[in-house]
Amino acid sequence: MISYVTVGADDIARAKRFYCAFLPDLGYALEEGPEGLSFALPVPPGQQPVLPEFYVKPPFDGAAASAGNGAMVAFEARNQQQVCDLHAAALRAGGSDEGQPGFRAMYGPLFYVGYLRDPQGNKIALFSSNPNEPGRDD
């Protein structure tokens, strides 16, 4: 099981604006610290944390942050409309479009996805595969 995912950022304020445009709507709470941003899903009393957590931090080695070629983090939305809404909110918050929300021929008929780049260039996917919504072939 994946415990956490970390992406690098040189400008934490810009990263915060971008990620706070959509992660709270997916249930993630932000905790800020001197080392960067930590996003986690709420933990009911007596329960184990819901994993993975998501961190945005300056690189530990002090070098400039860079996006991984081929690396991507995907967040699941409740439905197709939420994918569209959060994709638009992330663009308004400083992200760049890497693929408008919609179905893709190479994925399953229920996989609805939009792609973004955060201000640092990290690739982010917002997707829904809600079986209660129309699919690509409907």
Q: What is the mean pLDDT of residues 126-134?
A: 97
DSSP characters over 70-131: T-EEEEE-SSHHHHHHHHHHHHHTT-EEEEEEEE-TTS-TT-EEEEEE-TT--EEEEEE--T
How do residues 82-102 score in pLDDT, each as one tens digit? 999 999 999 999 999 999 999
In DSSP terms, 76 is beta-bridged to 127
Q: What is the mean pLDDT of residues 51-72?
A: 94
Rounded Cα–Cα distance for residues 95 and 117 (Å): 6
Q: Domains of the chain by range and CATH?
A: 4-59+70-128 (3.10.180.10)
pLDDT score at 50? 86
